[in-house]
Amino acid sequence: MAADAEVEVRNPSGLHARPAATFVRASAAFTADVTVTNLTRDAARSASAKSVLGVMGLAVARGHRVRIAADGADADEAVTQLVALIAAGLGEEIDGE
């Protein structure tokens, strides 16, 4: 089973080390293969959502749109939870909220 969704990164520093690690830890909870793509910078390049260096290498900044794609038994749940995590700021405060 496959699933994907897009979300805007809203936290002030984008996916730097700490939020990238939070995202990767959450991704690792799923058996599905999960990838992330920075649609704003380079829609042709994806990285494993289970690799901190891969996620950081996408250079995702505030305001960038990313696609979360998953393939596997828990793909729908993975995409839903990871999109919600990004939308909520990955544990960081979002200005004005």
Give me the active site residues, please. 16
The type of residue at 70 is: A
Query: Using an 8 Å Cβ cutoff, are 76 and 9 in contact?
Result: no
d(CA 3, CA 56): 22
Partners of residue 38 on adjacent β-strands: 66
- Output phi, psi for 18, to 5 deg: -65, -55
